[in-house]
């Protein structure tokens, strides 16, 4: 396969991952300003825009299909 087709397949995989996993979760430890030391973990989420997944999927399919076509000109 041509490198352009591999790039298209990578974009398809990224697009599918973005559509399957709707958000990335991470935990923060905000500072507590009191006499009692308490450890608090706060869960935060970064939602990737589903439109990015759809665009990546569409562009990946386009690049994979047209990346494997042979040129009609010599």
In a domain? residue 33: yes
Residue 69: what pLDDT?
74
CA–CA separation, 66 and 74 (whole Å): 17
Residue 51 lies in a domain: yes
Structural domain count of the chain: 1
Q: Is the whole-model pTM more than 0.75? A: no
pLDDT at residue 40, rounded to an integer: 66
Digit-by-digit pLDDT tens for the chain (74 residues) are: 688 889 999 999 999 988 887 777 766 766 655 555 556 677 777 777 788 889 999 999 999 888 877 665 55
18 within a domain of the structure (yes/no): yes
In a domain, 73, yes or no: no
DSSP letter (8 states) at residue 68: S
Residues 36-70 as b or e (16 or more Cβ within 10 Å = b): eeeeeeeeeeeeeeeeebeebbebbeebbeebeee
Predicted confidence (pLDDT) per residue in 40-55, tens digit: 677 777 777 788 889 9
Q: Is residue 24 part of a domain?
A: yes
Asked, for residue 53, whether it belongs to a domain, the answer is yes
């Amino acid at each position: 396969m041509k490198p352009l087709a591999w790039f298209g397949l990578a974009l398809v995989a990224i697009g599918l991952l973005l559509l399957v996993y709707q958000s990335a979760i991470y935990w923060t430890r905000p500072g507590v300003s009191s006499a009692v030391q308490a450890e608090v973990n706060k869960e935060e989420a970064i939602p990737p825009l589903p439109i990015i997944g759809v665009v990546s999927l569409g562009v990946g399919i386009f690049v994979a299909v047209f990346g494997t076509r042979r040129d009609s000109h010599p």
